[in-house]
Structure 1
Amino acid sequence: MNILITAGGTSEKIDNVRSITNHSTGRLGKLIGESFLSNGHHVTYVTTPQAVRPATEPHLTLIEIETTKELESALLDQFQKQTFDSIIHSMAVSDFTTETTLSEDTFIEKLAATLIKDQALSDLTTLTEALYRSIDEIGQTIQNEKKIPSGTDRLLLFLKKNPKIIAMLREQQPQAVLVGFKLLVGVSKEELIRVGKGILVKNDCDFVLANDLEEINDKQHKGILIDRDGHTQTAETKPEIAQLIVNSVEEKWRDR
């Protein structure tokens, strides 16, 4: 099989020395990749600089990215070059990226300058609409500083929504056995399964691995693998999850 795996956590630049990221280490993705490789499959592994990854070997192709935009570009490039039998999208992708950054003084000056142009701010509705327009205009301010000065009491960071990478995978590779991931925090098993099923249906996945951050530590990683029929299988550690995913994907692929 020809397998694509994304793993690790993307980061979004604030300036040339600062970024926003998450705590994903890529350890589960690494184990999944190693399990596929040990079974003789070819793995294209897309990951981030800080994440762990499988050791170099002939059947492994490694692609390194940092931002969500770079991830999107790398995947579209790969989809033009080859067809994948399965995609394991375990990467923790940033929901938002940096639009611009402003000091408190600069923000207030820009907001005041845009609002003063409007002479008809006599009611709440009109004022609210003007504020939305102003925020949109300020958010498009070009960030020129390579390193944002630290001499301000408050730094305002404007974030904008990133595209959902998982949403494009089925469209780009309709034949692939697609595995998505969903991480929640402090929910019941029933809620975890309910949300996991929603992700599966929404993104046309074959499987979704639903897990709760409160049940992940150095010794355990409880995960629930949900399939299209709503059946669930539970694993208690990262190696168990990796083997469960590999076995399920191989079985699904053989049945097609």
Structure 2
Amino acid sequence: MNILITAGGTSEKIDNVRSITNHSTGRLGKAIGETFLANGHFVTYVTTPQALRPKSEDNLTVVEIETTKDLESALRAQFKLHSFDSIIHSMAVSDFTTETTLSEDLFIEKLAESLTKKGNLTDLAKLTEELYHSLDEIGETIQQEKKIPSGTDRLLLFLKKNPKIISMLKDEQPQAILVGFKLLVGVSTEELLQVGQAILTKNKCDFVFANDLEKIHGNQHEGILIDAQGQTETAETKNEIAQLIVKKVEEKWRK
């Protein structure tokens, strides 16, 4: 099989030396990749510079990205080159990216300037509307500094929502067996299953691996693999998860 795996965690630049990221190490993606490789499959591994990855070998191609935008571009480029039998989307993708950054003084200056132009804003509904409009305008401020000065007491960071990468995967590669992942924190098993099933249905996944951060400690990595029929299987370590996912993908591919 020709397999595409995303692993690690994207980061979003604040300036040329700072960024926002998450705690994903890519350890689970590495285990999944190594298991597919051990079974003789070809793996394209899309990851970040800091994340773990399988050892180099002939059947492995590594593609490095940093931001969510990079990830989308890299995936679209791969989809033009290859038809994948399965996509394992285990990467922790940033929900938001930076829009602009302003010091406290600059933000207040721009907001005051914008509202002053609107005249008398004694009506609460009108004031609220204008505040939203002003924030949209401020968010479009082009950040000039390559490194934001550290002298300000407060730094205001504007974030905007990233596109959901998983939502476009089946549209781009409808033949691929798609495995999605959902991480929650401190929820019941019932909620974990409910959210995982919703992700599966919404994004046309064949499988979703749902897990809870509070049940990830060292080698322990408890989670539930849900298929399109609502059937579930559990695993308790990263190696068990990798073996389970590879087995299920291989079984579906053979059918």
- The Cα of 1:121 is off from its aligned counterpart by 1.1
Q: Who is 1:238 aligned against?
A: 238
Counterparts of 2:122 and 2:193, CA distance in 1: 49
Counterparts of 1:238 and 1:104, CA distance in 2: 44
Q: Which runs of 4+ in 1 moved over 2 A?
A: none
Letter in 1 for 2:232: T
Cα deviation code 1:155-209 (max 9, x no counterpart): 0000000000000000000000000000000001111001000000000000000
- The Cα of 1:9 is off from its aligned counterpart by 0.1
| TM-score normalised by structure 1 residue count | 0.99
Q: After superposition, where does 1:1-256 map in structure 2 within 5 Å?
A: 1-255=1-255
Cα deviation code 1:80-123 (max 9, x no counterpart): 11100000000000000000000000000000000000014120
Counterparts of 2:253 and 2:111, CA distance in 1: 56
Counterparts of 2:92 and 2:165, CA distance in 1: 10
Query: 5+ unaligned residues in a row in structure 2: which ranges?
Result: none
Say which SS state the counterpart of residue 43 (structure 2) adopts: strand
CA RMSD after TM alignment: 0.5
Counterparts of 2:19 and 2:119, CA distance in 1: 39
Counterparts of 1:151 and 1:216, CA distance in 2: 39
CA contact (8 A) 2:30 2:53 kept: yes
Cα deviation code 1:42-94 (max 9, x no counterpart): 00000001100001100000000000000000000000111000000000000
CA contact (8 A) 1:196 1:209 kept: yes
Counterparts of 2:163 and 2:80, CA distance in 1: 19
| TM-score normalised by structure 2 residue count | 0.99
Query: 5+ unaligned residues in a row in structure 1: which ranges?
Result: none
CA contact (8 A) 1:120 1:126 kept: no
CA contact (8 A) 2:219 2:238 kept: no
CA contact (8 A) 1:183 1:211 kept: yes
Q: Identity of paired residues, percent?
A: 77
Counterparts of 2:127 and 2:205, CA distance in 1: 44
Counterparts of 1:209 and 1:107, CA distance in 2: 42
Counterparts of 1:73 and 1:120, CA distance in 2: 46
Say which SS state the counterpart of residue 191 (structure 1) adopts: helix
